[in-house]
Structure 1
């Protein structure tokens, strides 16, 4: 090649300079005098120059060779931008040193390797790996149907060789390496712990230039940040690699969560469909990430009561479980609430751990059977229904034997059943006085000492009909036969009158003035009323009651008396009643 002076070289784009005892040669890529070749399959652009320097009669010639790798690089699965360059162009004492870095800040090889770079020599080439999150690198997110990103690195490489005269030669070049568009790996991870009774979902690997702006939960939209009163919570999580994430928490029992109970399999399912809306900054392009999370609870059983008997009633106790809210407790068709308990005379106490229900004898809901002088059996049932369908899934039934001294029952079909504890009117010979109702042909079904069992239709045996504003009362009386001269009464001055009553709401009766058929939607309120009067003669009641025994109103089964108040009424003495309705 013909020689040229420095000024001519500069006009052609070459730079030659001498500073601090060093000679500098620099050339742009693509010069006419450069050469493109390959070294171990690495494309290289090389330029060769000779610098002449003359001082007096001494001419110094310096050969300069620059061979720069044109390798485009590639992004591997391990998160590295890989690049190759020829290993050495000059003979070197002790080998060629390599310094690498980004944006012109080159580091010694050992320091770079500690920071995650890869520097390896292989078949005459040097392989350099730049970690994707290297300090000084650049990344950018894009939405092109889905979310993508690319990384850009301004790589600086220095190769230093020392010849036998200990003169060092440095080959320095810079390359901008860009990864292809890479799918952005935003993911969701279900971190839900069933015992916590809440969904915990993590949205991770969100690029630093992408922000979460809103969330859709089961098709309901929520803009971030949530209000202070919200039951939902989103927490941002920062990571050292420049990415960040978001943790979403939603309670299982929040109304937004869908739930389904599979009765046959005893499986409870909670479902949450999530649509994350992410915005790529600065343009605010939207990207959506969907997730469907399901939490399953197996062996979910309905509430189960323990029940014990007492002299005064039955006690039910329930230890609460997390999913008791799936069911509702009912007495018949009525849902058990504190208001219902107050109206019916139950005693209910409830907290987060347990529920206790004391059901006194004679309150609503009892069924009575096997009534004798020795007592009767009382059965009370609490139903457990599926809340969504009201289907009865299970129940707790408790039957107890009760033996009160006396009681009265008023059934829906109009039967009055009474066990009365009468005065000790027993003769010296052990014979009991003859007893009957107001109709002396109606006697007791059974007797034992001073106790007698009567069972008869309320509208029979010479009953008295008492009609009030809202109630109708059927009344009768237990009489003793005191004309038997062989009987030796305990008291000759006074005796007790025993009046028995059944009171029904008028609204519950299907037919009122009939003696052939009695139908009521509810049971009646029973009373045993005792009064004191002179023993001489049998007379109709003339004195007000001195004591009253009454059962609780609004019953659906026969009840046993408890203390109460007698309702006001007008009296009708009925010996025979005709069916005015003709039925």
Structure 2
């Protein structure tokens, strides 16, 4: 007959600082000499060294054995739960064996199987802003997503993500979780942009709403995040390109470009201005394209030779409120020289003239001169000559009209080799090729001054070939600036002045500034009639 009594711990377990703890008396049978504790999960015991590596703790305190196991230990069971927010709980199937020995080496083993459950633990997922400003793209990481939770949808600033524009990549982590990387370009229409003109900064903001579901129940919960990126803003910058017929500019629009204005000189660049000066302007929601044909308003020219010259065009970017220049785009391009004339603001006439039809066989353009035969070409080849001289020198003739003043000179050949004559009309013996520069009187600061010529704008140049040089064709004219269509040039009154230079014999009194244009012109007409007959 055997009298057997079995005793078991009634402890239900508790959760403390990441451990599930369970207690049992050290000696259920006090008459036994010693007790050894072995632990494991799911009905399998493990060696003491393995248990220690996995974070198991077995302590004796006041004749009580305390067993502590990490709540997320391998072999346990984890489950997600949605209750407003995302929670999780862990279940451990604990297996404990107590071995007691008598003096006669007879073992008594007591095995315990129990289920320990953690309380509901909040499991927050997180977002991390991994954006690099230089990439101009938001990069946002959603992390610590449990295995049984899947990403169902993503809304950015209230818009469902577009797979063709936005990139979402799943990232697997070694701790049995995963994450998702979201990429959204700064220039995407869904991105909110906030400008600070005071600080010259642009703030990009992305409000993200993640929709996640717990499987297999398909319970849904949401995670909301907001990320920002701050960049310094700069005035718009054009890209310039040289063409055969002129210079082109391109500007890619940005949402904050409205803070600035674009101008050519002091004039705002508008469709009306482009039409007035002959520019080709195209402007849509993506970019602005401006094609500036050569010899239109706004060009600056330099290094003129018979082989070529350089043309420079500048676009200014101004503050919309103060009109102060913030930046500029300057493009300089080389162009070949054919026949041209330039009238600068400082009163210099530069012309490359084709003389092939104007000189006799065997003649050389290098032997030509202006009205003053001391003013020869700066450069010449077999058919062309380059002249550059102040408009009031080299015997130039001044023609004064109501609103304009014209400086005119002529190209003559040496007397031994004259220009070709019209065989029908012998009165063309003295015909030469005329060079003209016309300036508006309103833009001249000093008129006929011996010290300095100063004009607000460049002049309009013309090269006039006598008709009989081209066998009845119309005169050849080259202009570097379009004449405003709202103005008409009155036929000028010719004032033939002295040749060296004509300006030094002509002075304007100060009281003329107070006269009306009509009275001012009358004064010059009378003065010329009485003194220049």
One fold, TM greater than 0.5? yes
- Counterpart Cα distance in 1 of 2:370 and 2:186: 70
Does structure 1 retain, via aligned residues, the 8 Å contact 2:166–2:182? Answer: yes
Select the residue among 431, 438, 453 that pairs with 1:495: 431
Residues 162-241 of structure 1: matches in 2 within 5 Å?
162-222=101-161, 227=163, 230-241=164-175
Residues 266-285 of structure 1: matches in 2 within 5 Å?
266-285=200-219
Q: Report SS of the residue matched to 1:96.
A: strand
Residues 308-387 of structure 1: matches in 2 within 5 Å?
327=257, 330-332=262-264, 333-334=268-269, 344=279, 362-366=295-299, 381-384=314-317
Residues 1:447 and 2:392 are matched in the alignment: yes
Does structure 1 retain, via aligned residues, the 8 Å contact 2:372–2:394? Answer: no
- Counterpart Cα distance in 1 of 2:85 and 2:330: 64
- Counterpart Cα distance in 2 of 1:287 and 1:117: 34
Q: Alpha-carbon deviation of 1:74?
A: 2.5
Does structure 2 retain, via aligned residues, the 8 Å contact 1:494–1:533? Answer: no
The TM-score, its normalising length taken from structure 1, stands at 0.55
Residues 1:286 and 2:217 are matched in the alignment: no
- Counterpart Cα distance in 2 of 1:206 and 1:544: 86
- Counterpart Cα distance in 2 of 1:129 and 1:399: 77
Higher Rg of the two aligned structures: 1
Residues 1:75 and 2:75 are matched in the alignment: no
- Counterpart Cα distance in 2 of 1:360 and 1:455: 30
Shift in CA distance, 211/391, structure 1 to aligned 2, threshold 3 Å: farther
Give the aligned partner of residue 22 of structure 1: none
Give the aligned partner of residue 68 of structure 2: 129
> Unpaired segments of 5 or more residues in structure 1?
1-51, 54-61, 308-312, 347-355, 369-377, 412-416, 433-444, 462-475, 483-487, 503-521, 535-540, 559-571, 576-583
Select the residue among 327, 330, 344 that pairs with 1:395: 327
Does structure 2 retain, via aligned residues, the 8 Å contact 1:420–1:453? Answer: no
* Count of residues paired in the alignment: 402
The TM-score, its normalising length taken from structure 2, stands at 0.60
Does structure 2 retain, via aligned residues, the 8 Å contact 1:237–1:244? Answer: yes
Q: Alpha-carbon deviation of 1:524?
A: 10
Q: Alpha-carbon deviation of 1:334?
A: 3.2
Residues 1:407 and 2:342 are matched in the alignment: yes
Shift in CA distance, 427/255, structure 1 to aligned 2, threshold 3 Å: closer
Q: Alpha-carbon deviation of 1:383?
A: 2.6
Q: Alpha-carbon deviation of 1:147?
A: 1.7
Q: Report SS of the residue matched to 1:448.
A: coil
Shift in CA distance, 138/555, structure 1 to aligned 2, threshold 3 Å: farther
Shift in CA distance, 460/207, structure 1 to aligned 2, threshold 3 Å: closer
Residues 1:101 and 2:40 are matched in the alignment: yes
- Counterpart Cα distance in 1 of 2:325 and 2:371: 54
Residues 31-42 of structure 1: matches in 2 within 5 Å?
none
Shift in CA distance, 198/573, structure 1 to aligned 2, threshold 3 Å: closer
- Counterpart Cα distance in 2 of 1:279 and 1:185: 14
Higher helix share: 2
Q: Alpha-carbon deviation of 1:149?
A: 1.8
> Unpaired segments of 5 or more residues in structure 2?
282-288, 302-310, 333-338, 354-367, 377-389, 420-428, 439-456, 494-533
Give the aligned partner of residue 152 of structure 1: 91
Q: Report SS of the residue matched to 2:327.
A: strand
- Counterpart Cα distance in 2 of 1:171 and 1:391: 93
Give the aligned partner of residue 161 of structure 1: 100
Does structure 2 retain, via aligned residues, the 8 Å contact 1:271–1:294? Answer: yes
Shift in CA distance, 301/501, structure 1 to aligned 2, threshold 3 Å: closer
Q: Alpha-carbon deviation of 1:214?
A: 0.1
Does structure 2 retain, via aligned residues, the 8 Å contact 1:523–1:555? Answer: no
Shift in CA distance, 180/491, structure 1 to aligned 2, threshold 3 Å: same
Shift in CA distance, 96/279, structure 1 to aligned 2, threshold 3 Å: same
- Counterpart Cα distance in 1 of 2:474 and 2:300: 29
- Counterpart Cα distance in 2 of 1:100 and 1:81: 13
* Cα offsets for 1:525-579 (capped at 9, x unmatched): 7533222659xxxxxx9943464323365989x9xxxxxxxxxxxxx9999xxxx
* Cα offsets for 1:106-130 (capped at 9, x unmatched): 2232222222322233332222222
- Counterpart Cα distance in 1 of 2:158 and 2:463: 64
Does structure 1 retain, via aligned residues, the 8 Å contact 2:262–2:315? Answer: yes
Q: Alpha-carbon deviation of 1:245?
A: 1.7
Does structure 1 retain, via aligned residues, the 8 Å contact 2:21–2:66? Answer: yes
- Counterpart Cα distance in 2 of 1:131 and 1:76: 10
Q: Alpha-carbon deviation of 1:219?
A: 0.6
RMSD value over aligned CA atoms?
Answer: 5.4
Does structure 1 retain, via aligned residues, the 8 Å contact 2:340–2:478? Answer: no
